[in-house]
Structure 1
Amino acid sequence: MKSNFRVIMVVVVIITMLAGSVYIGAGAFRTAGSGDTVATVGSEKITKDELYDYMVKQSGQQAIDTLVSEKIIELEAKKNNVTVEAAEVDEEIASYEEMYGGKEALESALASSGFDMDYLRGNIETNLKIKKILEPTIEITDDEISEYFTANKASFDQQEQVSARHILVETVEVANEVLGKLNAGDDFAVLAKEYSVDTSNKDNGGELGFFGRGQMVPVFEEAAFGAEIGKVVGPVETDFGFHLLIVDEKKEAVEATLDSKKEEVRDVLLDQKIQSQVTTWLDEKYKEYDINITL
């Protein structure tokens, strides 16, 4: 539904983590027995030894570099008494879930890019460690904050938004059938689970979360922003099918001020500076530690 739908990973990029790469440890497949069979083709066997050798050739250097970098970050966090609580990771996860309209939608977005929630949690935890390690070394002046806000003010303005739910079906006949049940008092969430073909949110009552103009396909957007709160709208036809929707809440546009956004701007600048410094920081740490790669 969202035209700019993509996985938004953590702002602070830490190390070379390539989508689709296989991350393995140096002995990951040998520990259980190098002759163990992982697949068969007719009477022929493919062993863990063969799999290990193939994966090392494909991405072994990238994988070991990633693991070394993660270990350095872990050791530096201990050295600096830096810890990340589960609640801190949960808070970040919650912001992503809100952005995508629920846990199921976020999981679907991650899966479409080859990731899962465990990967995201680990990525967030590592990024938070780096942020806590480097933040005390970074200075952000009031002039920098003011200049950035002035140059990017529009991005801090709150745009008009609506929070909506929808049920997506393939034909107008089914849409009218569902509409009849809604008008008769049937529960929207129950019908969404039963009828909707939008698997990213059907089990979450069809929740789409808050969205602004330009995020949905035009005809759906027009219907949503023109709807009265709490009233069923539709069927609305798009390239995806036929939608029945309910708008639960609306937020009016609000112009941002420097005073109200100062901390938010500081966080943006902090993330940018960390992102620009982390590679150099890791390079320096590589030189400090006795690293012996025998892959």
Structure 2
Amino acid sequence: MKTRMPTWLNRGVLGRFAEQLGRRSVFRLTGYRAGVVVAMLLVVVGGSGAKTAMHAAEALPADAAFRSSGVLVTKQQLQQRVALMEFLYGLQRPPDPAGVDKFNRAVAKALVVSDVVDRAAAEHGIVVADKAASDQLDKMIKENSGGDRRAFIQELGARGVSEQNVLDEIKRQQASARLFGKVTEPVKPVTDADAQRYYDQNRAQMVTPEQRGVANIVVPDMAQAQQIAEQANGGSDFGALAAQFSVDGSTKDKGGSLGDVQADQLDPGYAKAAFAAPAGAVFGPVQTQQGWNVGKVGEVHPSTPVSFEQVRDAIKGKLDNDAKLKVWNGFLTQRIKDADVTYAPEYRPADPDASPARAAQGE
């Protein structure tokens, strides 16, 4: 059995540029920390030290969302960026009014941070060549649309997003990653002794998380899911049922297999059912945003302790990330304060004075 790393070791500073687009699955989208831009959205760079007092002399126009460093961003421009983030990062608007209000305020702050980072990158002389962005876009199309550029562009148009919008965002990502490198360059390398000390202090957590082989069938309604669950429990071949009924195009031809997964990789409700069932059992129906799911548990890989040698490099990576993010958050906090940001009342963040580090920790 392969050694599986603890959950907290699976997250680095730099993430994938984007998850596969339009995928139907029970997998949960995780945060993107690619350098630091909008992809880090409401997590690592969530804080701001922005000034939010609405002085009469500084009153914003009715169509403005915020002003940063003297530059106005309109509500329309903000919504265009949101549409881009929905396409690239799977960002989803909450369905309830309270959630929408919180969403708008959080996105506004995230875009303030993004614009501040853009200006800082320019001041540091960071320029991303057109070809570098174009190459990244070509790779993205190949990975997410099978190389069908026409289909990709049509999908962009349907969402009110242009190819240039995507190229600009790619440049923003790459420039931010370079800026992150420049700002955090003074951070001292993590030693083996540092890693050993962390391992000793957190020995109880030094285990591989339980993983399970899971197969899944997703259908549009509960009645059909119940019928499929009954057939599976009655002895029908689960893979054949997946091929016949599942609307998840990425797994239906593989018997519905999701592979070996950890609980935190799944939708919470689905994970609860999948990790409560014994090996070989069928579970569900379970409703997720993708539809009604019926799952089957395969081989169960229990949690087991790991040695220092197994996780040394991963621990060093984590400690290095933590140290760099501390420096980066301090840099961002000061830059945002200097930007003298004014928000429209309906876009003012709930925690406008929180530092990025405290916002990331949910404080």
Using structure 1 for the length normalisation, give the TM-score: 0.51
2:191 alignment partner in structure 1: 141
Contact 1:156–1:256, Cα closer than 8 Å, also in 2: yes
Counterparts of 1:272-291 in structure 2, within 5 Å, are 272-282=322-332
Q: Is it true that 1:255 corresponds to 2:305 in the alignment?
A: yes
Q: Percent identity?
A: 11
Match of 1:73 among 121, 127, 130: 121
Tell me if the contact between 2:118 and 2:176 (Cα under 8 Å) persists in the aligned partners: no
CA distance, structure 2, for counterparts of residue 253 and residue 123 of structure 1: 40
- The answer as to whether partners of 1:178 and 1:191 remain within 8 angstroms in 2 is no
> How far apart, in 1, do the equivalents of 2:229 and 2:333 lie?
58
Range 269-278 or range 128-137, more displaced: 128-137
Give the distance between the partners of 1:22 and 1:181, measured in 2 at CA. 58
Q: Kindly provide the amino acid, as one letter, of the partner of residue 164 in structure 1.
A: V
Measured in 2, the distance between the counterparts of 1:10 and 1:61 equals 16
Which position in structure 2 is the counterpart of 1:176?
A: 230
Aligned match of 2:246 in 192, 198, 207? 192
Which of 243, 266, 271 is the aligned partner of 2:294?
Answer: 243
Residue in structure 2 matching 1:267, options 313, 317, 322: 317
For residues 167-195 of structure 1, what are the alpha-carbon distances to aligned partners after superposition, in whole Å with 9 as ceiling and x for unaligned?
A: 145233343357789539736345312xx
Count how many residue pairs are aligned between Structure 1 and Structure 2: 217
CA distance, structure 1, for counterparts of residue 209 and residue 118 of structure 2: 39
Q: Is the 8 A contact 1:77 1:133 kept in 2?
A: no
1:8 to 28, 31, 37: 31
- Structure 2 runs not aligned, ≥5 long: 1-24, 37-43, 49-63, 75-104, 144-165, 344-363
Show CA shifts across 1:90-115 (max 9, x none).
Answer: 89xx9xxxxxxxxxxxxxxxxxxxxx
Superposed displacement of residue 65, structure 1:
5.8
TM superposition score normalised by structure 2? 0.43
Instruction: Please tell me the root mean square deviation across aligned C-alpha atoms, in Å.
Output: 5.3
* Structure showing greater Rg: 1
Unaligned stretches of 5+ in structure 1?
30-57, 95-117, 194-201, 228-232
Q: Distance in 2 between matches of 1:60 and 1:168?
A: 35
Aligned to 1:222: 276
Matched residues in 2 for 1:219 and 1:292: separation?
Answer: 48
Aligned to 1:52: none
- 1:128 correspondence with 2:177: yes
CA distance in 1, matches of 2:125, 2:192: 29
